[in-house]
Structure 1
Amino acid sequence: MRALAGSVRGTGRAVVGVVWAFLVLVLWLWGGGAPGGAAGSSAPTTGDMAAVGRPPGVPMPAAHPPLTGARPQRVAVPALGISAPVVVRGLDARGAIDPPSYAAADRVGWYGAGARPGEPGAALFVGHVDTDTRPAVFYDLSTVRPGERIEVTDEDGRTTVFTVDDVRVLDRDRFDARLVYGPREAGRAELRLITCGGVFDRASGSYTANVVVSAYLTGAA
């Protein structure tokens, strides 16, 4: 699995302008196979999952006002049993977000030049779905459901709580960068968890889609 997006600059802690077109290209590259990647493993269940939008008629918590963000240290998705350390990642030579190494596939990468969790905009987190030998941190990501919690603990010991808004499995040729990288509501603090999805195509050495979990800030402790 390749890493996420490139050329995401911190202007207003949001992605703007012509960057969108570049992000589409980079996410396509993200699905490309990497040496030591998923070629030896079977496709995860994400490959057969449909997108799950916000349930109609189900009340969702009110958004919490944005906060002063701090560097994240750990991300948890209690419903999936995920509790993983966060490592700060930058851009690789191609301008894509450099993921954690396959040797650290139990860690989640946060794009450090973007929004911090709790700030206005969308904080971007990426993780591997698998390696050539085993499932990785975000293997079950597509099974999370709207209304479930994502918790981010930061370097100040604060935990920000995000509520999942929707879950989408996006084919690479139908990827909408504005939907993924832009906040759904202006001024709201949001979060994205992203990994590879679809099925692993051995011929091309890549996954056919990306799993994108969108969430918004609903509390802090």
Structure 2
Amino acid sequence: MSDKERSSAAGRLLTGVAWAVLLLGLWLWGREVTDVRQGISAPTTGDMAAVGRPPEVRLPPAKRPLGDAKPQRLDIPSMGVQAPVVARGLDPQGAIDPPPFDQPGVVGWYGAGAKPGAAGTALLVGHVDTETRPAVFYKLSAVRPGQTVRVIRDDGTVAEFTVDDVRVLSRDQFDAQQAYGTRQSGRAELRLITCGGTFDATSRTYTANVIVSAYLTGSGL
């Protein structure tokens, strides 16, 4: 099966034309943004792994979703990340349009989808590196369940999420439902997405995607 056929099959795993187009676009975006990585060593997390949830981690209950508000900044204390968030759409080929490479510290939010903190699954994407240095999500594969992710929103509220799952999904065995599908209906969920695995010098791409899943557990001003 060709890459195009695999991506189409992945998109069909979710119902609804809009979701299929979105998920296909995210996967194709992940392949495209890693085409020119030679200047640094990328995180090596393996082609297929599920960090999952260690049995000793006790996770807090979910908080009721907040109202709609656009994200302005993403804070991940365990990574030392404080990054601006910008809305992104789809390009003419139907793939999500990531932040430009000359803005490696910026996180992209799929603006046509759920807003972080509101009901549904909000999608945030970021580069793992540039041609010469690490980018905003370089350490994403080191995030662990139980850690905190905060999204500062344009209504002045802070949506606080708790990580409940970390996965490194191989390109060859990609499952769109597992990667991007809602884990529990009625919750406000968050996905942080970047490239991972090892860098394939022949194809000039990484071999996997890092997917961090989190859910809303608190809020503040």
Corresponding position of 1:12? none
Corresponding position of 2:197? 198
Tell me: CA distance 1:173–1:45, structure 2 relative to 1, closer, same or farther (3 Å).
closer
- In structure 1, how many angstroms separate the alpha carbons of the residues matched to 2:86 and 2:45? 24
Residues 76 and 150 of structure 1 are in contact (CA less than 8 Å); yes or no, is this contact kept in structure 2?
yes
- In structure 2, how many angstroms separate the alpha carbons of the residues matched to 1:25 and 1:86? 22
Residue identity matched to 2:59:
M
Corresponding position of 2:94? 95
Gaps of 5+ in 2: 1-6, 9-13
Corresponding position of 2:11? none
Corresponding position of 2:83? 84
* SS class of match (1:113): coil
Residue identity matched to 2:97:
D
Deviation of 1:202 (Å): 1.5
Alignment map for 1:1-221 (pairs within 5 Å)? 16-18=15-17, 22=21, 25-33=24-32, 37-47=36-46, 50-221=49-220
* SS class of match (1:103): coil
Tell me: CA distance 1:46–1:167, structure 2 relative to 1, closer, same or farther (3 Å).
same
- In structure 2, how many angstroms separate the alpha carbons of the residues matched to 1:16 and 1:68? 25
1:30-88: CA deviation from partner (whole Å, max 9, x where unpaired) = 34355983233323244589421112243210000111020000001101101100011
- In structure 1, how many angstroms separate the alpha carbons of the residues matched to 2:170 and 2:31? 13
- In structure 1, how many angstroms separate the alpha carbons of the residues matched to 2:34 and 2:55? 43
Residues 32 and 205 of structure 1 are in contact (CA less than 8 Å); yes or no, is this contact kept in structure 2?
no
TM-score, normalized by length of structure 1? 0.86
Paired positions, count? 209
State percent identity of aligned pairs. 63
* SS class of match (1:76): strand
Residues 20 and 178 of structure 1 are in contact (CA less than 8 Å); yes or no, is this contact kept in structure 2?
no
Say what the alpha-carbon RMSD is for the aligned residues. Answer: 2.3
Residues 54 and 165 of structure 1 are in contact (CA less than 8 Å); yes or no, is this contact kept in structure 2?
yes
Moved more, 56-65 or 122-131: 56-65
TM-score, normalized by length of structure 2? 0.86
Corresponding position of 1:10? none
Residue identity matched to 1:171:
S
* SS class of match (2:55): coil
